[in-house]
Amino acid sequence: MNYQQYQPSERLSPFVKYLWTLESSSDDAPHSRERVFPDGCIELLFHYGDLFTKFDENGTQILQPRNFIHGQIRNFIELEATGKVGMLSVRFLAAGLHPFVDFDVDTITSKILSVSEAWPDGASLEQKIADCTDNSQRIAIVEEFLVSKLDLEKYDKTVADCVQTISDAGGNISIETLGEKFHVSPRHLERRFLKAVGLSQKVFSRIVRFNQALSLIEQKDFSTFSNVAYDGGFYDQAHFIRDFKDLTGLNPKQYFSENLEMVKFFNLG
Q: Which residue has the higher pLDDT, 83 or 69?
A: 69
Q: Could you tell me the pLDDT band of residue 268, with boundaries at 50, 70 and 90? A: very low
Helix (H, G, I), strand (E, B) or coil at 241: helix
Under the banding of pLDDT at 50, 70 and 90, the label for residue 190 is: very high
Written as one letter, the residue type at 248 is T
- Buried b / exposed e over 209-218, threshold 16 CB at 10 Å, is bbbbbbebbe
Q: How far apart are CA 149 and CA 155, in angstroms?
A: 12
Min mean pLDDT across 144-153, 191-200, 212-221, 227-236 is at: 227-236
Residue 20: pLDDT over 50: yes
The pTM score is 0.88
Sheet (strand 61-63) strand order = 34-36, 77-81, 52-55, 61-63
Chain-centre distance for alpha carbon 157: 20
pLDDT number for residue 30: 59
pLDDT digits (tens, 9 = 90+) for 82-128: 989 999 999 999 999 999 999 999 999 999 999 999 999 999 999 99
Mean pLDDT of the chain: 88
Hey, what domains does the chain have and what are their CATH numbers?
Answer: 2-153 (2.60.120.10)
